Structures are given as C-alpha cells and as structure tokens.
Amino acid sequence: MNEIYIIRHAAAAELDKEIAEDSHRYLTIHGRNHCRIVAGRLKDMKVRFDLILSSPVIRAVQSAEIFSSILNFGGEIKTATELIGGQTFTKFVQMLKRHSYFNRIALFGHAPDVNIFCSNLIKNQDIKNLTINFKNSSVCKIEYDIENENGRLVWFLNSENMKLLEM
C-alpha cells in the first residue's frame, strides 16, 4: 500500500504581454506565501515524502520546491511528463507503477487533471456526495494499492479555508 499525495500547484501569474505561454507562468508572491502555509500545515501533520514528482511546468516545480523546503525533503525533485495537463489516467497509473517502490509519493500537477486522477484512484471507495475540488495548493492523501489498482481517500486539505476533510 502506497501513500499518494496529490497536490495542485500554487497560484500563478496570469498570461499577459510578458508571459505569452501558459507553461511560462510562475508563482505569484501570494501563491508562494499560501504554498508555504499549506506546506507548514502538512509539516504540523507530520507528513513526509519519499519521492516528489512534479509536472515540468514552472509553477508546479516551484510549488514542489516550496513543499520540499518546508517539509525538509532530502531527495531530488523529479519531473514527470505524465503530470503535464491533459495526460490520460492510464499513463498516470503507469507512472505510479514505475515508482511503486517508494512508499510516500507526492505528485504536483494541474487542474483539472488532479481532480480526475484523485477521483479515478478512489473510484471503488463507497463515498456518497463527495465533491473534491482542488483549488491552488490543495492536497489529498490516498492510500493506494498499485498492484490491484484500488485506492481509498484518507483526507483532503482544502487550501482555501484550510479545512481537513477526513474519511
């Protein structure tokens, strides 16, 4: 059983005359500060990662770096193209299988993919009327049996109000 932490990147700058491509959007000061607060909450909860995988897009990598720093992660942040927006769930699961020897895996990605990946990982869990909406810097913890492709949502941290929904 692996612990999978799915995290949406923090708030990023909008497209404008200086930032013409979506992949070049970087974290705003507010996004960085809010990211530190959420990472601090995880630190208080004694959350630890064995592996951090991030979308190679700047805002996701920057978010992963902040979490890594606050949580005193000693490893290298790796990028995974499966976490770039628009990837299939099948490719996402293949990525998890390649890294299944890590017990606690943090994944930094984008909406709506983080919503889709989370929902698909816990699709067999009997949860009625559950709506998970990843706002910037929101985090969920899923216990996932990679071999049997079966997951259970443990908690969801809504970064907007810092409320923890525990299952």
Confidence of residue 20 (pLDDT cuts 50, 70, 90): low
Instruction: Label the pairing between strands 104-109 and 51-54.
Output: parallel
Contacting residues for 92 by C-beta, under 8 A, at least 6 apart:
82, 83, 113, 117, 120
The phi, psi pair for 32, rounded to 5°, reads -65, -45
* Per-state percent for the chain, helix, strand, coil, to nearest 5: 30, 25, 45
Helix H or strand E segment including 50: none
Higher pLDDT, 92 or 86: 92
Q: What is the pTM of this model?
A: 0.93
The domain locations on the chain are 2-166
Which pLDDT does position 163 carry in this prediction?
84
Q: Which of 99-108, 114-123, 124-133 has the highest mean pLDDT?
A: 99-108
Q: What is the mean pLDDT of residues 51-71?
A: 96
Q: Which fold has domain 2-166?
A: Rossmann fold (3.40.50)
Residue 19 in this model has a pLDDT that exceeds 70:
no
Average pLDDT, the chain: 90
**Distance (Å) of CA 47 to CA 67, 91, 125:** 11, 26, 23
Give me the percent of the chain exceeding a pLDDT of 70. Answer: 93
Q: Is 49 exposed, middle or buried (0-12, 13-18, 19+ CB in 10 A)?
A: buried
Helices then strands, counting H and E runs in the chain, come out as: 4, 7
